[in-house]
Amino acid sequence: MARRPGRILVVDDEVGMREGCRRILSPEGHEVAVAESAEEALATFVPGSRDLALVDLRMPGMSGIELLAKLQQDDPDLVCVMITAYATLETAVEATKSGAYDYLAKPFTPDELILVVDKALQHRWLRLETAQLRAEAERNLLLVNAEQSRTRTVIQSMADGVLVTNREGSVVLFNPSLLRLLSIKDELPAVGQPPSRALFPEALLGWMEQALTDVEATMVSHELPGGPPNLAANIALVRDESGEPLGVVTVVRDITELKTLQQAMSDFVSMVAHELRSPLGAIAQYLDVLRAGIVKDPEKEQQILSRCRERIGGLSQLVRDLLDFSVLQKRGQIDRSVAPLNLSEVIRETVEFLTPQAAEKKVTVSADLPTHLPLVEADRSEMSRLFTNLVGNAIKYNREGGSVSVTARVTDGYLAVEVLDTGLGIPRHALDRLGEAFFRVKTSETAQITGTGLGLSICKQIIAAHDGHLEIESEEGKGSTFRVLLPRQDAVR
Amino acid sequence: MGERKRVLLVDDDADFLNAVRMTLEAAGYDVISANTAKDAIALLRESRVHVAILDLMMEEPDSGITVAHFLRRQPEMTGIPVILATAVTEKTGFRVPMDDADDREWLKVDAWVDKPVSPAVLLREIERLSGG
């Protein structure tokens, strides 16, 4: 170890000794402080500020041995050398027993002092280094512990179930989510034992076993039979550095929501297919009739063609509704351009726009709105779509000579807009299903009316996106009232 | 020319019904029609028909089958041939073998035709099943 200067404290009641030591050690590069008594040394001592203490064994007042004990209590790594008047075996033993590293007998030559000091400092440096290494090792150990506890915490708090088994197929580890997902309640899996067939699905155990024997596959995914909840298991073989199998990590995940979405999507697609097929079938059937030359009456031929045209119009509407539907599904609140809106303007425009269509069906449409309507926070184009659909339906499902009226009034916290018709009304059994995508009321009266079954579903989505409500009252044969409740801007908290 | 044969047509699509009706009427059949299984059963109770053409899917997925089963449960109607018109077969590959008598018995259906149905095929099936 390199020789380097130290910070030395000399404690001696003889001024000659103190100054002698300073004169010998300072030129060596050491920093020397002195004290003339044990009491003075203790009063000024700061732990860590000295590398070595040279202490006179016999001093008036507190002895060197007592001082040494106190100093080392304050600073365990401080190295002490005892200076004794007589180099006897007893004093050497006494000094060493009291914790001194070495002793020096008076009188001594400068070289003897330098040698002892150097040796003691070497010891000091070694001690410091050992302490540092020990501290580092402790810190490392702490890190290892923290890492383990972190991993454990992560596994314990995962929403997915985790089961780890070793090469022999015995349980090593599992987390609470595993128990929850597999409904393991009363009896816990035993660590160190193979997973019990009473607790774990047979299929899962089979896949885990297979993972250990089938060394080709590194990870397999399976869906567990049964449910809900619908569960999927990822089973991965874990190997050591030489590629030997160590065990199997099984992660069990709840995929109920995914399955529900998949089912909803598949239902939606088959409903769309059905909705496309009906009008296409009708058009094709009409065209076959025309081609077969069965129809001789030109007026009847015209009727067929206009029905075909109408069904094609219905298909176009379906495509438009589907696009709207998908936009509404994708749209978050952020994409909506919501602003304070006066609905009376939107409703008047809607009524105006639909009046020709109503006249064709010999239905009258009117809007009776108060001059001052409270504003609502809404997307203008969606509100326009909403009332076009509602008023359009009220016209479509009406009779000759019937009427549609739109009114608005202020209720507790809401603006209520009512679309009232004197139309066909809705059968009681159909009321609950109204607004389901593609659901249409089918009676002999509605058979001729083209519709997509998406309009009201779109309305419901728009209303829900605006934190509103839709209420429907209807009496079959008399008519229906569709009441839209939208939060008033002046009532929004 | 003897008595005009009466065909019951059941489909929830009014235009499809109308088109098939035109085809059948032009071929000399008397046609009565309904949009729903319920209306069809009501019609069957009040008038005698020679052939029934049913859509498989109406307001309920198996309404065609519902009507067919009703027909088979009425002793005086068991002989009425049933043609099931459906668009299901093409897409789903759901095809029922019609050669086996047991299969025919289980389905209570005598023939399947795909929608849209060619007027020639439909008329040929009606001829065959109603005995010319």
Q: Which contiguous run of DSSP H or E holds residue A315?
A: helix A298-330
| CATH code that applies to domain A257-330 | 1.10.287.130
DSSP-assigned letters across all residues of A175-191: -HHHHHHTT--SSPPPT
pLDDT confidence of residue A137: 82
Mean of pLDDT over chain A: 87
Q: Which of A281, A295, A448 sits opposite B16 (nearest CB)?
A: A281
Cis (ω within 30 of 0) for the bond into B119? no
Burial of A393 per CB tally in 10 Å (0-12, 13-18, 19+)? buried
pLDDT confidence of residue A2: 59
- pLDDT of A298 above 90: yes
The residue to which tokens 């009496």 are assigned: A475
The pTM of the full predicted model, rounded to 2 decimals, is 0.57
- Check if B90 contacts A (Cβ < 8 Å): no
Residues of B within 8 A of A277 (CB-CB) are 87, 115
pLDDT confidence of residue A403: 94
Identify whether the C-beta of residue A103 lies closer than 8 Å to the C-beta of residue A96.
Answer: yes
DSSP-assigned letters across all residues of chain B: --PPPEEEEE-S-HHHHHHHHHHHHHTT-EEEEESSHHHHHHHHHHS--SEEEEES-SSSTTHHHHHHHHHHHSGGGTT--EEEEESHHHHH------SSHHHHHHHT-SEEEESSPPHHHHHHHHHHHTT-
Distance CA A215, CA A213 (A): 6
Identify whether the C-beta of residue A71 lies closer than 8 Å to the C-beta of residue A29.
Answer: no
Q: What is the pLDDT of residues B85-103, one digit of tens each?
A: 876 544 444 445 455 566 5
User: By percentage, how much of chain B surpasses pLDDT 70?
Assistant: 76
Distance CA B8, CA B19 (A): 14
Q: What's the pLDDT band for A493 if we cut at 50, 70, 90?
A: very low
Residues of B within 8 A of A301 (CB-CB) are none
Please give, rounded to a whole number of angstroms, the shortest distance from the CA of A286 to a CA of chain B: 5
User: In chain A, which residues fall in CATH 3.30.565.10?
Assistant: 336-493
Identify whether the C-beta of residue A311 lies closer than 8 Å to the C-beta of residue A282.
Answer: yes
pLDDT confidence of residue B104: 55
The count of other CB atoms within 10 Å of the CB of residue A247 is: 21
Q: Which of B18, B59, B120 sits opposite A442 (nearest CB)?
A: B59
Is CATH 3.30.565.10 correct for A336-493?
yes
Interface of A with B (CB under 8 A): 273-274, 277-286, 288-289, 292, 294-295, 300, 304, 307, 311, 442-444, 447-448
Identify whether the C-beta of residue A414 lies closer than 8 Å to the C-beta of residue A487.
Answer: yes
Nearest to A350 by CA among A295, A296, A300, A387: A387
Identify whether the C-beta of residue A443 lies closer than 8 Å to the C-beta of residue B58.
Answer: no
- Check if B35 contacts A (Cβ < 8 Å): yes
Q: Could you give the domains of chain B?
A: 6-116 (3.40.50.2300)
Q: What is the pLDDT of residues A325-366, one digit of tens each?
A: 888 877 765 567 888 999 998 999 999 989 988 998 899 999
For domain A158-254, the CATH architecture is: 2-Layer Sandwich (3.30)
Q: What is the pLDDT of residues A5-30, one digit of tens each?
A: 999 999 999 998 899 999 999 999 99
User: In chain A, which residues fall in CATH 1.10.287.130?
Assistant: 257-330
Distance CA B83, CA A378 (A): 53
Interface test with B, best of A271, A278, A285 (most B CBs within 10 A): A285
The count of other CB atoms within 10 Å of the CB of residue A110 is: 14
Instruction: CATH number for A7-132: choose from 3.30.70.100, 3.40.50.2300, 3.40.190.10, 3.20.20.300.
Output: 3.40.50.2300
Residues of B within 8 A of A307 (CB-CB) are 15, 18
Q: Give the chain A residue nearest B58 (alpha carbons).
A: A442
Cα A265 to the center of its chain, rounded Å: 25
- pLDDT of A248 above 70: yes
User: In chain A, which residues fall in CATH 3.30.450.20?
Assistant: 158-254
The answer to whether the CB atoms of B36 and A292 lie below 8 A apart is no
Q: What's the pLDDT band for B36 if we cut at 50, 70, 90?
A: confident
pLDDT confidence of residue B2: 60
With b meaning 16 or more CB within 10 Å and e meaning fewer, what string describes B19-39? bbbbbbebbebebbbbbbbee
Please give, rounded to a whole number of angstroms, the shortest distance from the CA of B38 to a CA of chain A: 10
Predicted interface score ipTM higher than 0.90: no
A-B contacts (CB, under 8 Å): 70
Q: What is the pLDDT of residues A403-453, one digit of tens each?
A: 999 999 998 889 999 999 998 888 888 888 887 777 777 776 776 677 777
Residues of A within 8 A of B118 (CB-CB) are 288
The answer to whether the CB atoms of B87 and A277 lie below 8 A apart is yes
